[in-house]
Amino acid sequence: MLAIRPHLWLGQAKEAAEFYTSLLPDSEITSLGHFAMGAGQCQFVEYTMAGQPFMGISLGDAMKFTPAISFMINFDPSRDPDAAKRIDEVWNKLVEGGTVMMAIGSYPFSERYGWLADKYGMSWQLILTNPTGEERPVIMPSMMFTGDVAGKAEEAQDFYTRIFKDGRRGNAARYPKGMEPDKEGTLMFSDFYIDQTWITAMDSAHPHGFGFNDALSLLIPCESQEEIDELWSKLTADGGQPGQCGWLKDKFGVSWQVSTALMTDVFKTGDQEQIGRLVSAFMPMSKIDLLTLQKARDGE
């Protein structure tokens, strides 16, 4: 199984990828292309930021991101002697044209921390940290459980770590008494590991007015039909909602794509005829049918 890839629905995917890959070392655009989708064109881009793989698409009007999923960037002085300087440099680039949600500054949990939405609407949490124990990656997708799912971060974490064969829990900090409306014992911060990917999760019972949506989904590039069938069944269980082209919402409202490595491989290396056949084959699908896609790729 390959690592989970955050999938961003952007107005200008290439422009955004160029901006994001300029922010941190070990970042680059790895694939860029387009294909016909209905009466228009879909631009797609694959890139890495600090080694974390991402995918972006531009198709029609961009969807609006919400802070329900953000990206935490860890600036670790034990790994980077210039971390304290670098966090401010990256903040200053991200905040230009963006919106500050928590100003960069000193907080009880970190000497330097800030939360913002950049000019594309994507949310970032920048934190100066020096973690003990198992090392965490530079970038971690971060889920905030609000509204109807406030207080369910731990349930979701247990759900995800059961679904993925390598799933396990990491750190956890809980709300103490007197932090209303957040209930004592719910998760102030936690992290967990699934599919070669560390993800953070927290509860917030405050009236934020936002939740999870399809603008940011988590793409799982499966390598077999067996993997696709198993994950699709488990992620749509107990009130999850199947969607189109491998998309779904789980019972907490988080958007996933149970996809296949074949798709990204063809988008990277295939000619326009192959890509066109593949797109025509997967557009009518709900759950991905790998054999049908293989036949479309090969022109059968």
Confidence of residue 96 (pLDDT cuts 50, 70, 90): very high
Question: Does residue 105 sit within a domain?
Answer: yes
Q: Which of 11-15, 88-92, 263-267 has the lowest mean pLDDT?
A: 263-267
> Both 81 and 151 in a single domain?
yes
> Both 257 and 161 in a single domain?
no
How big is the CA angle at 189 (ends 186 and 195), to the nearest 5 degrees? 110
> Both 149 and 227 in a single domain?
no
Domain boundary among 203, 224, 239: 203
> Both 191 and 78 in a single domain?
yes
Coil, strand, or helix at residue 215?
A: coil
> Both 170 and 85 in a single domain?
yes
> Both 104 and 194 in a single domain?
yes
- Residue 64's φ and ψ, nearest 5 degrees, are -90, 125
What local confidence, expressed as pLDDT, does residue 130 receive? 78
Task: Flag whether the pTM goes above 0.95.
Answer: no
CATH number of the domain at 125, please.
3.30.720.110
Confidence of residue 67 (pLDDT cuts 50, 70, 90): very high
State mean pLDDT over 14-20: 96
- Residue 263's φ and ψ, nearest 5 degrees, are -60, -50
Domain boundary among 181, 203, 225: 203
State mean pLDDT over 137-159: 97
- Label the pairing between strands 69-75 and 28-37: unpaired
- Label the pairing between strands 110-117 and 187-194: unpaired
State mean pLDDT over 63-79: 94
- CA dist 153 and 192 (Å) reads 11
What local confidence, expressed as pLDDT, does residue 289 receive? 95
Question: Does residue 127 sit within a domain?
Answer: yes
State mean pLDDT over 22-35: 91
Percent of the chain with pLDDT over 90: 77
For the stretch 152-173, pLDDT in tens is: 999 999 999 999 989 999 999 9
> Both 269 and 186 in a single domain?
no
Beta bridge partners of 41: 36
Check residue 25 and report its DSSP letter: S
For the stretch 252-278, pLDDT in tens is: 999 999 999 888 888 888 888 888 898
> Both 124 and 188 in a single domain?
yes
State mean pLDDT over 72-86: 93
Question: Does residue 288 sit within a domain?
Answer: yes
What local confidence, expressed as pLDDT, does residue 39 receive? 63
Is pLDDT of 288 > 80?
Answer: yes
How is residue 98 written in tokens?
Answer: 């963006």
Sheet order of strands, 247-249 included = 28-37, 40-49, 52-58, 5-9, 216-222, 255-260, 247-249, 241-242
CATH number of the domain at 256, please.
3.10.180.10
State mean pLDDT over 278-288: 91
Question: Does residue 208 sit within a domain?
Answer: no
Question: Does residue 103 sit within a domain?
Answer: yes
What local confidence, expressed as pLDDT, does residue 133 receive? 74
- Domain span at residue 279? 5-64+213-298
- Report the candidate in 73, 96, 92, 77 with the shortest Cα–Cα distance to residue 24: 73
What local confidence, expressed as pLDDT, does residue 192 receive? 97
Q: What element of type H or E holds 263?
A: helix 261-269
Percent of the chain with pLDDT over 70: 97
> Both 108 and 182 in a single domain?
yes
Radius of gyration in angstroms for the set of CA atoms belonging to the chain, rounded to a whole number: 19
For the stretch 239-255, pLDDT in tens is: 999 999 999 999 999 99
Confidence of residue 38 (pLDDT cuts 50, 70, 90): low
* Mean pLDDT taken over the chain: 92
> Both 222 and 282 in a single domain?
yes
Instruction: Count CB-CB contacts under 10 A for residue 246.
Output: 24
What local confidence, expressed as pLDDT, does residue 1 receive? 56
> Both 169 and 281 in a single domain?
no
The CB-side HSE value for 128 (13 A sphere, CA atoms) comes to 21
What local confidence, expressed as pLDDT, does residue 193 receive? 96
Domain boundary among 203, 228, 249: 203
Residue that wins the pLDDT comparison between 117 and 132: 117
Number of domains composing the chain = 2
Confidence of residue 194 (pLDDT cuts 50, 70, 90): very high
Confidence of residue 283 (pLDDT cuts 50, 70, 90): confident
> Both 109 and 139 in a single domain?
yes
